[in-house]
Structure formats: structure tokens, C-alpha cells
Amino acid sequence: MITHQHHDLFIESCAVRQLAEHVPTPFYAYSQGMIRTQAAAYQTMAATFPDAMVCYAVKANNHPAILSLLAEEGLGADVVSGYELRQAINAGIPPQKIVFSGVGKTVEEINLALHHRIAQINVESLAELDVIQTLAAAFGHPARIALRINPNVDAKTHAKITTGKEENKFGVPLSDLPAVIHRVQSSPHLHWQGLAVHIGSQILTLAPYQAAYAFVMQVVRDLAGHGIVIDHLDLGGGIGIAYHQGPEFTLADYGAMIKTTLGDWPGKVIFEPGRFIVGAAGILVTEVLYIKETQKKRFAIVNAAMTDLIRPALYDAVHRIVPVHQSDATPQSYDVVGPVCETGDILGRDVLLPPLHAGDLVAILDAGAYGAVLASHYNMRSFPAEVMVAGDHYGIITHRQTFEDLNTHRSVWTGPATPKLQG
């Protein structure tokens, strides 16, 4: 739980103010209990299907401390790069529970997936299918593939996180299906087991899901007509969380809708939740550096920035921001901004907070997903530190980077003294 108790913000049984005495701000803090609760809730919904697998979307937060927790909870992983694949395996997630998504898998990445014999590679284009076939032939065992189809459904979410419309780069259009059928039927190196669909993220209503899944079922029936048996359906992720208003449906509603839509189809369903598992479990703790009042605005300039949490700048996302020490004083309106030299470096607009002073701490809520993973070094800022909390224990799981860390793998160039291109 992340709540105020007697005016002080707590993450589980740790007072955030005390954490900040041991960890330099800005830092992310995650509640182990909340991550476990969300994972277990998803597992419970999935368990109502005869054969289901919950593959956590690693992109939401790839920290090893989080992945190992989810491995313990029995989750698999949805990965989108070779390093994510290695990260999941290193954290103890068995390759048989890993699916590989993404529109631009390289030869090395596909080989890695084949080497580990992961559960499924989600194919995103005909060209990629050809590469997978060639590599699988060299490998000597068929690649287990699912075709990601583009259902042309509007997920009714922010344009930058919509993926299932025909103008988006994701999935294979229906018009490519005959060519895919031909390729698969003529190749012993491809085992076509599934269809995959993912229409977007932070989805708050069931209707787009239902439309996408009905579309998928139509394709399943069409393929059956060609003698192709689809026995895996990867239904993607995307369930939204309550930054302000949460989804209009429960997980149970989602499961029930899927049952109705899939009817008596007997195969295995795969889910790829990311945000739902880790989003609400993380906060970003930051310290007020200065208060600045202009004719138009009152700014709280804090030591976190768009480099630590880019969601407000990139998606106009609104995260709740709360004081770490709550006071009874009348709140004032602040724009909470970072030190980065960009007008867009805003963490929250018109946020009502008690009167703030330099040195005060505030926490940005629901920052566990697509927070730390999207950090950048712009303005030569370090990545933020990260802390895991369980009860009244905490552990630093990412140390704040030093100046030297930022320069690792970089050097000056010595010009002509370096080797010449040969040939």
C-alpha cells in the first residue's frame, strides 16, 4: 500500500521521508506487496481458462528485482529485444514461458530466441517470416510462431500508445494472410501455432478489446478452412490503471468477455500485461529545489525531471503528485517542473499541494510502469536510484550513477592515430 498515515506518506511500512534519508533523491520506490498482489490477481483471472499463460511485458519495467519477483509468482515474459530475453531468463523465467514481440527483431535476436526454444515468436511481417524460416532451417528445429494481426481497431487511448489501427506499424494486415499461409504450408521449418493481437495501452473500456478478439476469432475460423489449426491466442496487454479514473471494467469482466468471444475454441490463451502489474506499485520521490512565482504561475522546481519520468512530457500523462509530509494548510496550485532545459520538462500542471518550501519532498504516484525504463541522460543527468520495499525493509536495487558511470564506454577521439578503414 502507498498511503498517508498520520500525515506521512508510507510505502508499505516504510516512511518515505526516512527512505529519503538513506537514498539520494530523485528515486523510485516500489512496493513488493503491490506487485505480488497485481500479479496474483492476473494469475487468478487467467486460471479460469483451461490453459493460460501470463507473460509480463518486460518493457514496462525490466528491473531484475521485479522480474525475479514475477518469476516467483509464476509469470512468464513478453520480451521485445534480445537483452530483454536474456534479462527474463537470468531472472529465472523459463524460456517455455517467454514470447517475443516487436516489429524489428534482428538476426541475432531471432537466433537467441531459437536457441532458447522460447514459447513463441510473434511475427510482425512477411519479411520477418522469411528471415525466421531461414534461421530455423539452419537451426534444425521448427520455429514456433504466432502471427500478430492488425485488427484495425481504435483502442480509444492516447495516439502515441495506440497500436491496432491500420496506419500503425504493428501487426500484419489481413491482405497478407494468403501469402503467410503459402509460406507456412510450404516450409517444414515453421510451426504456426498462434495468432497475436495487441491494440494499445492504458485501455479503459472493454469494447475495443471485444472488437479485436472477435476479429481474431474470425481469422481463426478462416484459417481452419485452410487446414491451419490455431491453438494459441496471444491476447496482448493494455489494461489501464487509475492515474485518475481507472478502467470501467474489472479483470473478471475482461475474462468473462474473452470467454464469450472465444466460445468453445479449445486452445491456450496468452496475456501480456505490463502496466497493470507494476504501474501503481511505484512512486518517484523528489525534492523541491526552489519555489518561483511569476505573474502567471507558481512553479515548484524539483530535482526530478523529464529524464526520470517522461510520461507527462511525451503523452500529456497526468500523474497524481502528493506531499511526502501532508499538512493541514490551505493547498496552493503549482506547476511541478524539473531542472532540464526544455519547456516541456513538466511533471505536473496546476497541482494542488500544501505550501511548499525548498527541501520538501513530493511523490509522483503510479510511476512503476514506463517510468525508470524510459529515463535518459539528457543534460548529463544520472538515472535515478531505485528502491524495493517489503514491509518495513528496503533495499537499494539501483544506485545513482556517478559522473564516471555516465562516461563509461565514451572517449575522446585521437584522430589520425586511430586505425584506417581497410578495403
Q: Which residue number, 173 or 395, has a Cβ lying nearer to ligand LLP? A: 173
Supply the minimum distance, in Å, between the C-beta of residue 208 and ligand LLP: 13
Residue 19: φ, ψ to 5°: -55, -40
In order of 13, 77, 102, 198, 261, the CA distances from 122 in angstroms are 41, 13, 7, 11, 22
Q: Contact between 165 and ligand LLP (CB under 6 A)?
A: no
Q: Does 46 bind ligand LLP (CB under 6 A)?
A: no
Active site residues: 341
By CB under 6 A, tell whether 275 contacts ligand LLP: yes
DSSP structural state of residue 54: E
Instruction: Choose the stretch contacting ligand LLP; rule: CB under 6 A; options: 14-22, 222-230, 274-282, 355-363.
Output: 274-282
Binding residue for ligand LLP (CB under 6 A) from 63, 144, 311, 319?
311
Compare residues 202 and 286 and give the one whose CB is closer to ligand LLP. 202
Q: How far is the CB of 161 from ligand LLP (least distance, A)?
A: 5
**Contact status, residue 369 vs residue 279, Cβ threshold 8 Å:** yes
Q: Which of 255, 274, 282, 323 binds ligand LLP (CB under 6 A)?
A: 274
**How far from each other are the two terminal CA atoms of the chain, in whole angstroms?**
62
H-type helices in 263-331, by residue range?
275-278, 311-315
254 is a contact residue toward ligand LLP (CB under 6 A): no
Report whether 235 contacts 271 (CB < 8 A).
yes
Within 226-245, which residues bind ligand LLP (CB under 6 A)?
236-239
DSSP string, 357-379: -TT-EEEE-S-SSSSGGG---GG
Over the window 55 to 94, marking each residue x when it contacts ligand LLP by CB under 6 A and - when it does not, the resulting string is --x-xx-----------------x----------------
Handedness of CA 156, 157, 158, 164 (dihedral sign): negative
Residue ranges that bind ligand LLP, judged by CB under 6 A: 57, 59-60, 78, 101, 161, 198, 201-202, 236-239, 272-276, 311, 315, 369-370
